[in-house]
A and B are shown apart, each in its own frame.
Chain A
């Protein structure tokens, strides 16, 4: 399946979930499909999207939190699977878009490109629920069950490497503005206080 089509199916089943996207293809494609401001698009910290999402999930345990991680991000911080499994966050779903390459840097091959099974790694780390999905029909069919199940849930999404991809983040805001837009979106959506009375 193609990344854009995959994101459209994920968006259809998202519900109230707050979404954290790894930098690169995951963030670019999710923005292109949803333009949602109650999603956090990492512009740095490669490898840390899922741990960031875990911190968020622990802070708002009544709200579903999805992370759309990248295979490159997961490879950079495989220990995140242990950290997440150690906490057993019931409100968290961990998607990984696996195209076996570093797409936004000219499709260079992923480390151990043909030999890694991230779903098995997640199980080994302590995830009781971990699946691989490689086509849109199956994704559309399984997502209601995945959404309804308690986390942590690991979902490896096998997608095609593409040559015509977003080379730069398509969102028209970045870094500091990302902080304030996302933080304000959390305040509005959840009725919480992210910022103090003087704005910091």
Chain B
């Protein structure tokens, strides 16, 4: 199993049945893996805040879900995450590419790399940076924990973990 197969398997183990996503080249392989299987229904959206709304709505239907997108989208939708999810205490599990890291030299990821974590801390959104293969097994635990936190939770996937060339 490659890394994306393992992430997918752990999401299934956590009981996830629905995914909403917007592409980012670091997480596209994971999105395709979700689409390829029949365990998780996939919803394509037009902007990242919609992934949050899809998951928030699914929560009230008793369905476990995941939002998958890039760090740029996280930066743009933190305010909507606050007014929807903090306002109503709705947990949403997000898997986000950890763009802008020291091994990411794309100029348009530079701001995300510097400002995302301080922004999450300002909103008090919990997060975990997954850099090692064995940490993928923590996804079911993280899923239960984020429900207890009653707010958006961000699981960052690093370039090193994903082994991406992009």
Chain A interfacial positions (CB closer than 8 Å to B): 20, 40, 42-48, 51-60, 77, 79-80, 82-83, 86-87, 175-176, 178-179, 182-183, 186-187, 190, 192-194, 196, 200
Whether the Cβ atoms of B61 and A186 lie closer than 8 Å is yes
A54: which B residues are within 8 A, CB to CB?
43, 53-54, 57
Give the CA-CA distance A63 to B148 in the complex, in Å.
28
Whether the Cβ atoms of A200 and B148 lie closer than 8 Å is yes
Whether the Cβ atoms of A193 and B83 lie closer than 8 Å is no
Whether the Cβ atoms of A192 and B62 lie closer than 8 Å is yes
Q: How many A-B residue pairs have CB under 8 A?
A: 126
Q: How many positions in chain B have a CB within 8 Å of any CB in the partner chain?
A: 35
Q: Which of B3-11, B25-33, B44-52, B104-112 forms part of the interface with chain A?
A: B44-52
B13 within 8 A of A: no
Chain B interfacial positions (CB closer than 8 Å to A): 18, 20, 41, 43-47, 49-50, 52-63, 65, 80, 82-84, 87-91, 147-148, 150
Whether the Cβ atoms of B88 and A56 lie closer than 8 Å is no
Give the CA-CA distance A186 to B43 in the complex, in Å.
23
Contact of B45 among A57, A79, A194 (CB under 8 A): A79
A193: which B residues are within 8 A, CB to CB?
62
Known: A58-B63, A59-B62, A60-B62. 7 other contacts (CB 8 A): A47-B80, A48-B84, A52-B54, A56-B57, A56-B58, A176-B88, A179-B90
B84: which A residues are within 8 A, CB to CB?
42, 44-45, 48, 52
Nearest Cβ on chain A to B100's Cβ, whole angstroms:
25
